[in-house]
Chains A and B, each alone.
Chain A
Amino acid sequence: MTEQSHLGQSHLAVELHGITKRFPGVIANHDIELLVRPETIHAIVGENGAGKSTLMKTLYGMHQPDEGTITVNGTLVQFKTPTDAIAAGIGMVHQHFMLADNLTITENIILGAEPVDHRGRINFKEARDRIEALMTSLGATFNPDTNVSELGVGQRQRVEILKVLYRGAKILILDEPTAVLVPQEVEELFTTLKRLVADGATVIFISHKLDEVLAYCDEITVIRQGTSVAHTEPSQVTRRSLAELMVGSDLPDPSGRETKVGDDVRLQVTGLNLAGDIAGAKLALEDINVAVHAGEIVGIAGVEGNGQFELCESILGLRTILSGSISVCGQELSHTETRERINMGLSYIPFDRHREGLLLDAPLWENTFLGREENAGLTNGPFISRNKIEADCRTIIDRFGVLTPSEQVPAFALSGGNQQKLVVGREMAGHPKVLLAAHPTRGVDVGAQAAIWDELRHARDNGLGVLLISADLEELIGLSDRILVMFDGRVTAHLNPATATPEMLGTYMTGEEQGVDG
């Protein structure tokens, strides 16, 4: 037995050698080496745009490499379509789920591989038996006859994994599977994956979340700028050294300031209460007190969905508050229109740039004009001035280093990081007095992150008051002058970033309370 498994070592589950993939104008992958031992969880880490997904699509047969070889279980293979890859025992769980909501779990799983009799009638009993057997081995418990629409995100992912297993996959590729999960679900996912590995499967796990990679994976391959730069194990690296491998240079440092916090209060929220979405439910926000001074960044930490979004919308006037007061630069505005609040110097970098921040189909110059329709510098009386807006847009593009051929391209043509830089640029362009910045660097690469941090710091030094909402604890600790923790619609802790650690924040974010003394 030992002998055999020793022999098995020479048979890797997946071996990629010298993989190069070019797209018109870009080399997405070049000379990538990837060695995956069977029955391991192998992480592929890298920044956004490093080429992780391109590589996995090559392995799954969604496109063919221009150079290099693919070997699966010791056999040299060429995949023309995903069907070939499936036949070779490779399955892929896509980042965006491919599920039909109004079909049952069973129907979703068997689609395309239905057990049928000679007349094309589906043998639902056979399907159900197989799915239930797979569910038992996964440790999943749900009724396979329920509609997928009734499932939560974690369960849907489980169904995606079942889909892959149903087709007999032994090598599973998971493309950023934890991006959509809450922490408990992440833990459940890895429990599931460990079970699969114990049963003989091999998991290739794409991520840029280093904590979970270090905690759960057996081996790590680091991809940087389209090529593999390191193959290592969690025991041999630290979070920081792994991050530096990913980035290829020293990490940008968010901390440090020379100027002082000003005296005048820019944003004052006092005793704010907001009703929940459902009548009679508990309050969405309860007795929130926040003050932001000129030249100050106040960080809000918290697991998403604990009232941060509602707080921003209340300050902006998008929600009707129950009681309390909101003032900007000493002017009470809890009963004014959103437009008026913006004119008074409020600005907002929204949570989701696609949903709230940009018109994806509109050109960049239209996007930078959004929300600034009353800016006299961009209009000619009642008409918009395209020349002025385009010039203004070019200024934003230059100042924030947005990578784009011109201001005429539609917003969807930009990468996520560049879209975010454009949104940040637009919100800073009107020289606001108070900026609500929700996840200003979410999903952007390290270079863009550094640029956005520099801009925030610069504006702060010039007297801007910033309410910074972020899930990136290092960003919070590095940029903020004070940190508040929100939990369950309330502020539950006040921390000093000089002494706070991510672990400490984590404790408060999950419900630990501190005697809040202001």
Chain B
Amino acid sequence: MKFFKSLTTGQRTIALSLGFMLVLSIVRLFTNADDITSSGTISSTLRVATPILLAGLAGVWAERVGIVNIGIEGMMIIGTWFGAYGAWKWGSWAGIALAIFAGSLVGLLHALATVRFNVNHVVSGIAINILAAGSTEYLSIIFFKGQKGGGESQSPAGKGGYGEFDMPFLSGGRIGSWRSPDILGWLEKKHDLPLLPDLAGVLRGLVSDIYVPTIVAIALVPITAYILWRTRFGLRVRSSGESPQAGESLGVSINRLRYQAMAISGGLAAFGGAYLSTVFTSTYRQGQTGGQGYIGLATTIFGNWNPFGVFRGAILFGFPSALKFRDEKNVPSLLLVIAVILIALGVVSLMKNKQILTMGLFIGSAISAATYFLVDDVPQEFVAATPYIVTILVLAGAQQQLRPPAYAGIPYRAGENH
């Protein structure tokens, strides 16, 4: 424990990831569920996680500036529609650009309601969700109905895809017309070895078959962190969410900041929506977001209002979803993963002398393992629900150490504190 505490945050993350990899590797050897760490699973994890990541970042921008944004779901819906419309008319990148623009406007609408008219943030957010769902349906009837492939609840297919990216040498990417060797791909197939093929699989997953929009979304994580913690604009945004009076008394225009940050938040959420309708699939479909905006907001909280934390949360949700997408037979092996992790947590809590917690963790572990060995046929519903269950469990466990921006969601009127 002492050794662990002496590590920096970065070193701890690496140590924990390696530990987690070891667990996955053991489970893979034991269950022959090779997909658990295959590059295919990892790259589809990234794909599934991207819209959630973007929604989570939208939540970070909104809550950091002091506005609770339940409307992320609605902003994503707007993004799915405008993304598909742009992609259908002009091509995929135009779709994303149009979606971001439309989303920013919806973000500004939320800011107008909460800042200018002091509407309760949750009420305004829910109104936006309803408005978005209704207006996209209406727009579909006007623009998509009667078009080839389009209808009341569906858009025609978008034009053009996005570039996919493979890293040269590591995952067989091309340099010019020459195809480089796929070193990680070769390593990954050595299934009998422990750990090595797992690491290779995960790494290869991170650098092969990636859509360029995914790379952009992941790049937005450090960019958001940099802006929030290193620039004047970011400091002011954070101060607005912590204590708007402080900024106001020093001549910072809180209202303008809130409009700006909400435009960013809306744009990010709509980017996430456009990803669903132009990257993940190539058409808009009604109800396509399926609550991913809310999951994104949950990752904002789980990630402690920090972009890197949001990234972790999005991956956490994306991983079981990707496993499920690839082959539902993989899901039961997750039970074993959970069992091993619970044992590890139990040992840690035993060292901290927390008997009751330890007992609970060991019992949980036993139940998990027993379910894996005794139940042959995991019900379909359980498989579908797994990502949500994992998210809820982690959220419940992480809740205690979280520290939200002190002023998020609290009504504030500029100039009333003097």
Contact = CB atoms under 8 A, between A and B. Distances in A.
Interface of A: 57, 62-63, 81-83, 86, 94, 98-103, 107-108, 110-114, 116, 119-122, 163
Given A82-B249, A107-B235, A114-B235, 18 more contacts: A62-B418, A83-B251, A86-B251, A98-B246, A98-B249, A98-B250, A102-B238, A103-B239, A103-B242, A107-B238, A111-B239, A111-B252, A113-B250, A114-B232, A116-B231, A120-B231, A120-B233, A163-B250
B243 interface: yes
Interface in B224-259: 230-233, 235-236, 238-239, 242-243, 245-247, 249-252
Contacts of B403: 102
A163 B245 CA distance: 14
21 contacts: A86-B251, A94-B249, A98-B246, A98-B249, A100-B239, A100-B247, A101-B406, A102-B405, A103-B235, A103-B242, A107-B238, A107-B239, A111-B235, A111-B236, A111-B247, A112-B236, A120-B231, A120-B233, A122-B231, A122-B235, A163-B250
A121 B238 contact: no
In the A-B complex, list the 9 residue pairs whose CB atoms are closest, starting with the nearest.
Answer: A112-B250, A100-B242, A100-B243, A98-B246, A114-B232, A62-B418, A98-B249, A120-B231, A112-B252
Contacts of B239: 100, 103, 107-108, 111
A116 B242 contact: no
A103 B235 CA distance: 9
B223 to A, nearest CB: 13
B232, B239, B245, B406: most-surrounded residue (chain A CB, <10 A): B232
Contacts of B243: 98-101
B238 A100 contact: yes
Contacts of B236: 111-112
Given A116-B232, A120-B233, A122-B230, A111 B406 contact: no
A102 B232 contact: no
B231 A102 contact: no
Contacts of B406: 100-102
Nearest to A94: B249
A57, A62, A100, A107: most-surrounded residue (chain B CB, <10 A): A100
Question: Chain A binding site: helix, strand, loop or mixed by DSSP?
Answer: loop
A81 B415 CA distance: 11
Nearest to B417: A98
A341 B406 CA distance: 38
A79 to B, nearest CB: 13
A119 B231 CA distance: 8
B387 to A, nearest CB: 31
A120 B246 CA distance: 20
Contacts of B249: 82, 94, 98
Interface in B281-308: none
A82 B231 contact: no
Interface in B213-230: 230
A103 B232 contact: no
Contacts of B251: 81-83, 86, 112
Interface string B309-343: 00000000000000000000000000000000000
Contacts of A122: 230-232, 235
Contacts of B233: 120
Contacts of A112: 236, 247, 250-252
B249 to A, nearest CB: 5
Given A57-B418, A111-B239, A99 B246 contact: yes
Nearest to B233: A120
B117 to A, nearest CB: 21
Contact of A111 (B230, B246, B405): B246
Contacts of A103: 235, 238-239, 242
B234 to A, nearest CB: 8
A119 B226 CA distance: 13
B232 to A, nearest CB: 4
Interface in B350-409: 403, 405-406
B232 A101 contact: no
Contacts of B235: 103, 107, 110-111, 114, 122
A82 B248 CA distance: 10
Nearest to B248: A98
Nearest to B403: A102
Contacts of A98: 243, 245-246, 249-250
B250 A121 contact: no
